[in-house]
Amino acid sequence: MSGKIRRDRKAAEQAIAELIRALGLDPRRDPELRGSPQRVADFYFEAFGGLDPRLAPELVTFPLSGEGQLVVVREIPFHSICVHHFAPFFGRALIAYLPNQNLIGVSGIPRLLEFYSRRPQVQERLGQQIADHLERLLDPRGVAVALEARHLCMEMRGVRKLGRMETRVARGALAGPEWAAALRMESREP
């Protein structure tokens, strides 16, 4: 993502106020709706913070000494907003890479997930963006991203069923079947 992002808080608040009225709600009669346009605008401005390229995390890398072993960070919680319905989806991630010459600080992986999830998003693209970033930064022998998430756009509308969607990106050496067990996410009850 490049270029300057134009964000207009006042226009967002006005649009949300209009949506509230279009839904048949009246902030003059319902005191709990007073201030909702501002609160909802604040929510989306924060939730979409990843649209601002200036907020990309500055990730520290370290030279690798010796043979690089598989690096896996599991059970990283995340949340995002579905680009199609502007409804939340949330879950957990497994992010792994097989180092070549550089390592990333362990806290960099969750910060990378946080940055790309804070924008209108689809789960499939989220995993690809994280893998792309790690490949550009580290030039690893392999990278893998597995995401498992519940989507409120499926649970609150349409089919209205609970379910988890899992997506996987595996590239380079980690695309081979010998790594499948190491990169498996443990099943969870709904």
Residue 190 has pLDDT above 80, yes or no: no
Shared domain check, 173 and 107: yes
Residue 129 belongs to a domain: yes
Supply the mean pLDDT for the chain.
93
Q: What are the tens digits of pLDDT across the range 162-184?
A: 999 999 999 999 999 988 888 88
Tell me if 118 is assigned to some domain: yes
| 3-state secondary structure (DSSP) of residue 103 | strand
- The answer on 111 and 23 residing in a single domain is no
Domain contains 184: no
For the entire predicted model, the pTM comes to 0.90
Look up the domain containing 147 and give its range.
Answer: 60-179
Q: Is residue 190 in a domain? A: no
CA angle 112, 123, 57 (to 5 degrees): 10
Tens of pLDDT, residue by residue over 49-77, are 999 999 999 999 999 988 779 999 999 99
Answer yes or no: do 107 and 42 share one domain. no
Distance (Å, rounded) from C-alpha 161 to C-alpha 9? 34
Please state, as a whole number, how many other Cβ atoms lie within 10 Å of the Cβ of residue 60.
10
